[in-house]
Amino acid sequence: MQFKLITAIIVLLLLVASLSVAGCTSSSSSSIVSTDYPTSGRSKLVEAAVEQIRKDVEGATSSDYKLQSFTVNWTSDTRAETQELRLDTKTFDVYEYTIDITHFPTTDAATAYYKSHEYFTFKGTGWSSPPIDYYKLTGKAPKVYNEARDSWGNNGILQYDNLVVEKYRGVISPSKA
């Protein structure tokens, strides 16, 4: 009798453990996207980056600013531009944040583009807030990573393998917003 009870408990524990592991595996892998360059249709990597930016923008709260708009413009199947307009609630200036995301066919092509646009003075890490979290998108660290930015970390360019992300911040007068 005791043997059957112990066996039943062990079987139940194994069942619970296997369900827990299966649940963890499926939920974490569902957010990982492919870094493969698309042969047709939009880049899944760029789509995921845009959605990550959208969630960050829409989820951010501050008494210092109010989100006025967030738009996405797809210029090709492998390039999208996001634009966010924020109203500074103290100065009433409108700040425009633009992020360009481009998926290149190869890492070499992305590196060539990065080097031709690497005009910012600071190299290495130090963004005030990086535009995307590549690891969360892909589940892996990039083999090639390059970064150049301004002294505040508001404007710059980043390369993650064959993905290039450019971020710009500007001020628009309130009368134009």
pLDDT in tens, 149-171: 887 777 889 999 999 999 988 87
DSSP state letter for 175: G
pLDDT band at 148 (very low <50, low <70, confident <90, very high): confident
pLDDT in tens, 54-64: 998 888 777 88
124 burial class (0-12, 13-18, 19+ CB within 10 angstroms)?
A: exposed
DSSP state letter for 92: -
Please state the pTM of the whole predicted model. 0.76
Q: By the 8 A CB rule, do 104 and 78 touch? A: yes
Q: By the 8 A CB rule, do 110 and 163 touch? A: yes
Sketch the domain layout of the chain as residue ranges: 1-30, 44-176
Q: By the 8 A CB rule, do 133 and 77 touch? A: no
